């Protein structure tokens, strides 16, 4: 029963990423995502009653998820400008994704199961890669040369598409590194290169900045252990980058000025009207400024999970709608507490992954998995600074899996100590 519960949660992860009900609309009335989760959670509950599994494992990520549910409920009920305590899409996202994290950590009771969670998400994202390559091949672009995304999946805009490709890039490299068969290694290396190509074709400056940040960590590691692969990838990138559309190359060239504007620098004086990219950078800067001012005004619990923006828009006009920064969005909803929780999930992935890497050196596959969690955490920290969904399911799933791996290794260390002590 416990195994089937885990299988249904894995199926739920597949549905979240691919969202087949958007393409095959006859699936909508079946509510296949909710059904999969309810069956998985129900089987897990009955398995726990039989003593075959623990209902909740209080690892670091689960503790953070429970705190998130608690403070989100407080903000939902008592937020300064909360519209209504009624259920709403923002609260729905927080509850469902927190429960996903809790279920992942509770059910991933072995290294193999943590690996299964990661590989399930990898296989599901092949849909994103296939869709991106096909759309790029037929020239289906958005706002000029920008590749949009497979429109029926979890992501539906160029920045979100590039962001998610960066998050899963370390996982493709992990699968490449661990594969023992040459054709599999080539396939996963192809996935990694395809992900980078998709980032180029989206024209997403968020995606390119995230790639550069990850490269700071990737290059030294692969330079030491996989120099031939690194050289091959470098040659491949040199070959494919010139095929990137000129419009996207121009967007990438605006990154330095956009960063200066985003961080508060003045825009050079010009008689020419701002183009779309300059307007985007200025708007994000203004949104960040007003949202941070709003958080400082209501630092304890923010203004509510789903606030009535008309009540503060006169004082903070650009704090309305979504702010393109996950940590600021968390602060808007739950103040400094929300921002702290967001940082906590990042710490589970980055610091927890580092702990796994250091404490599993005698088990290279697991140590490398810890490094993969670190890199995914870096991608979320950097890319999430320019994207709006603080509690998205991918972040919560990865945090839950990383926390489960930490708990499993600690349990094995304690068991080893007990054996050495003769107890």
| Domain-located, residue 270 | no
Residue 37 shares a structural domain with residue 77: no
Q: Residue ranges of the alpha helices (H) in 179-245?
A: 182-202, 205-225, 227-240
Looking at the fold, whether 145 and 193 belong to one and the same domain comes out as: yes
> Would you call 75 exposed, middle or buried from its count of C-beta atoms within 10 A (0-12, 13-18, 19+)?
buried
Residue among 393, 377, 345, 375 nearest 13 (CA): 393
pLDDT value of residue 142 = 67
Q: How far apart are CA 189 and CA 135, in angstroms?
A: 21
d(CA 128, CA 150): 6
Q: Which residues contact 8 (CB under 8 A, 6 or more apart)?
A: 36, 37, 39, 40, 43
Contact 42, 149 (CB under 8 A): no
HSE, side-chain direction, 13 A CA sphere, residue 197: 24
Q: What is the pLDDT along the chain (423 residues), one digit of tens a residue?
A: 789 999 999 999 999 999 888 888 888 899 999 999 999 999 999 888 887 778 899 999 999 999 999 999 999 999 999 998 899 999 999 999 999 999 999 999 999 999 999 999 999 999 999 988 888 887 767 666 787 766 556 666 888 899 999 999 999 999 998 998 999 999 999 999 999 999 998 888 899 999 999 988 888 877 777 777 778 778 888 888 888 888 888 888 888 876 666 565 555 555 566 666 667 777 888 899 999 999 999 998 899 999 999 999 999 999 888 888 999 999 999 999 999 999 999 999 999 999 999 999 889 999 999 999 999 999 999 999 988 888 999 999 999 999 999 999 998 888 888 887 766
Q: Is the dihedral of CA 381, 384, 390, 395 positive or negative?
A: negative
Q: What is the DSSP letter of 266?
A: P
- 147 and 254 in one domain? yes
Burial 357-383 (b: 16+ CB within 10 A, else e): bebbeeeeebbbbbbbbbbbbbbbbbb
Please check whether residues 69 and 50 belong to one and the same domain: no
The pLDDT value given to residue 269: 57
How far apart, in whole angstroms, are the C-alpha atoms of residue 139 and residue 157? 16
> Domain for residue 187, yes or no?
yes
Measure CA of the first residue to CA of the last residue in the chain; give whole Å.
32
Dist CA 226 CA 192 (whole Å): 15
Residue 208 lies in a domain: yes
Position 23 scores a pLDDT of 80
Both 294 and 393 in one domain: the answer is yes
Residues 37 and 105 in one domain: no
CB 344 within 8 A of CB 402: no
In this structure, are residues 119 and 178 in contact, taking their beta carbons and an 8 Å threshold? no
Q: Domain check: are 67 and 47 in the same one?
A: no
In this prediction, residue 377 carries a pLDDT of 97
- CA–CA separation, 91 and 245 (whole Å): 40
Range of the domain at 15: 1-55
What CA–CA distance (Å, rounded) separates 403 from 401? Answer: 5
Residue after which a domain boundary falls, among 55, 75, 93: 55
Specify burial of residue 175 (Cβ count, 10 A radius: 0-12, 13-18, 19+). buried
Q: What is the pLDDT of residue 145?
A: 78
Please indicate, yes or no, whether residues 106 and 50 belong to a single structural domain of this protein: no
Backbone φ, ψ for residue 141 (5° rounding): -120, 170
Structural tokens at position 319: 């704090």
Q: Taking phi first (over 0 means left), then psi (-120 to 50 degrees means alpha), and beta for anything else, what does residue 31 get?
A: left
Asked whether residue 310 is domain-assigned, the answer is yes
Number of domains in the chain: 2
Same domain assignment for residues 10 and 96 = no
Nearest C-alpha neighbor of 276 from the set 251, 259, 256? 251
| Residue 76 and residue 24 in one domain | no
In a 13 Å sphere around the CA of 129, the CA atoms on its Cβ side amount to 22
Interior/surface letters 266-297, b for 16+ CB within 10 angstroms, e for the rest: eeeeeeeeeeebbebbeebbebbebbbebbee
Domain membership of residue 290 (yes or no) is yes
Closest among 216, 210, 215, 200 to 252, alpha carbons compared: 200
From 295, 324, 331, select the one nearest 71 (Cα to Cα). 331
| Angle at 100 (CA atoms; ends 98, 106), nearest 5 degrees | 105
| Residue 141 three-state SS | strand
What phi, psi does 179 have (nearest 5°)? -70, 140
Whole-structure pTM value:
0.93
Q: Is 253 found in the same domain as 115? A: yes
């Amino acid at each position: 029963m416990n195994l089937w519960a885990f299988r249904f949660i894995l199926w739920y992860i597949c549905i979240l990423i691919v969202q087949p009900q958007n393409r095959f609309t006859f699936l909508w009335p079946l509510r296949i995502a909710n059904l999969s989760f309810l069956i998985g959670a129900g089987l897990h509950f009955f398995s726990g009653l039989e003593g075959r599994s623990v209902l909740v494992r209080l690892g670091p990520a689960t503790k953070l998820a429970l705190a998130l549910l608690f403070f989100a409920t407080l903000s939902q009920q008592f937020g300064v400008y909360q519209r209504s305590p009624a259920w709403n899409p923002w609260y729905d996202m927080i509850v469902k994704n927190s429960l996903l994290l809790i279920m992942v950590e509770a059910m991933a009771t072995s290294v193999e199961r943590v690996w299964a969670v990661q590989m399930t998400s990898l296989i599901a994202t092949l849909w994103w890669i296939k869709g991106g390559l096909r759309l790029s091949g037929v020239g289906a672009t958005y706002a000029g040369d920008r590749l949009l995304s497979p429109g029926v999946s979890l992501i539906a805009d160029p920045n979100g598409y590039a962001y998610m490709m960066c998050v899963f890039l370390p996982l493709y490299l992990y699968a490449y590194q661990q594969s023992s068969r040459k054709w599999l290694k080539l396939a996963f290396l192809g996935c990694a290169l395809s992900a980078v190509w998709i980032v180029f074709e989206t024209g997403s400056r968020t995606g390119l900045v995230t790639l550069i940040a990850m490269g700071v960590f990737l290059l030294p590691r692969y330079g030491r252990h996989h120099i031939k692969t690194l050289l091959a990838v470098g040659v491949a990138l040199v070959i494919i980058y010139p095929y990137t559309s000129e419009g996207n190359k121009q967007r990438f060239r605006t990154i330095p000025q956009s960063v200066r504007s985003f961080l508060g620098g003045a825009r050079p004086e010009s008689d020419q009207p701002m183009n779309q990219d300059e307007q985007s950078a200025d708007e994000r800067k203004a949104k960040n400024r007003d949202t941070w001012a709003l958080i400082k005004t209501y630092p304890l619990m923010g203004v509510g999970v789903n606030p009535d923006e008309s009540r503060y828009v006169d004082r903070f006009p650009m704090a309305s709608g979504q702010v393109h920064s996950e940590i600021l969005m968390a602060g808007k909803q739950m103040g400094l507490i929300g921002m702290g929780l967001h940082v906590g999930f990042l710490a589970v992935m980055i610091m927890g992954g580092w702990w796994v890497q250091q404490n599993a050196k005698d088990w290279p596959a697991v140590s490398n998995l810890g490094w993969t969690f670190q890199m995914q955490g870096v991608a979320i920290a950097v890319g999430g600074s320019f994207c709006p969904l603080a509690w998205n399911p991918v972040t919560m799933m990865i945090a839950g899996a990383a926390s489960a791996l930490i708990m499993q290794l600690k349990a094995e260390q304690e068991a080893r100590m007990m054996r050495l002590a003769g107890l």
